[in-house]
Chains A and B, each alone.
Chain A
Amino acid sequence: MSYIVPIGPYHPALEEPVHAKLYTEGELIKDAEVFVGYNHRGIEKLATERNAIQTLVLVERVCGICSHSHAFTYAMCVEAINGTEVPKRGQYIRVITAELERLHSHFLWLGIACHIIGHDSMFMHIWDERELVMDILEKMTGNRVNYAMVTIGGARRDIDDDLRREILDACVKLKAPLDRITEIALTDKTIAMRTKGVGVLPTADAIRLGAVGPHARASGVNIDVRRDAPYSCYDEFEFDVPVVDSCDVFARVVVRALECYESIKIIQQALENLPEGPINLGTKLPKIKEGQAVCRHEAPRGQLSHMVVGNGGLTNHRVSVHVPSFKNTPTVPFMLRNNTVADAGLIIASIDPCFSCLDR
């Protein structure tokens, strides 16, 4: 029997606005469609009415998970247009915040994936460890969601010696639970049965459809903006880019777990070599010179791009924001095909989607 099974427009586990239409033969999904746009907030339009500092506040609210990534990328665009050189210490603080954000984002996703799988003890364990990262972010920035760490020309808050030591201690503390989480993720039978061979996106399809981030790397595509197009001070750190080629949901779990180690490595290097000097160029409201820039940042979910057009005034002429989910969501129908309806929720969630982010 053929059925059309609707899911959403509210994802059962992610609490995100997306609608999927599954065309099934019995339990098997033969084809699928994904619909977005339920949370379009007109953020790009609003940005044209704001100055650069107000826009930082605005773009941080595109996403509640990778808020720093948006402020970071927008600031890079304005700095590129204006030819602003960001002080080294400010660059390091931006990178430390970005990697802490990646850690909490990956812990969040790993936890949710376990929850969908039905491994709730693992979900609670991972989220418990995530709190350590959230506490550090709160201590550093004063906030747990929108950190407001970025200003045009640098960072807004410094990291003093006490805090530096505390974050380094937290990185050490995080290693043992991360080892345990990774070991369980790699060896647990429940996780393996629910994820191995499920939601496969072959390498060629990942490239063809333009998949990015951990989602692409779990399909054997070796890309990472931090390494391929270094920005800020990323070229000063040593880190690996984990790539797995089994192309299934299991690979997406493994890649994200391994990336947590790399983020810790970057944070440790940045804190151990934190340069002296100013963190920003002052508080003067910057004009956005006439010109255009496109900047890319490896956000937790993959390549995030902002385009900014300036007209020489205080406000933006145009801001365009494209999040990793914009690139990864079109891969979902391909991954759903020939899987069962029961796995649909997990497969959609496996790209670590942020649909509110995508809708802007």
Chain B
Amino acid sequence: MTPLEFAEKYNLKVITPGDGSREIKGAYCGDLLSWVMGRAKEDDAFITVMANINTIAVAVLADVACVILCEGAHFDEMSIQRARQQEVCILESEEPSFQVALKVGRELGL
């Protein structure tokens, strides 16, 4: 499932669309960016409440499929601009990370 399909099905807000070619193949939850960078896998949905520009850098370097920001957290304009430049898909949800992770897990057949 692509991040945009996921957003549509579960009613998440699309902040940036990414390049549209990515498929969510796994998921990683975490807010400590070094931890995420060392452990998230390529094509994971990166589920977090950490909303700053370094989150975008980590998403690019770890090559995740999308960033899903939970609990109503928001990126600032500079981070959104960086995400656009680097074609990182950002989705937003009002729900806690766990609830979002459950939905991603369901779609992955876990």
The answer to whether A and B come from one shared complex is: no
Using a CB–CB distance below 8 Å, which chain B residues touch chain A?
none
Interface residues of A (CB under 8 A from B): none
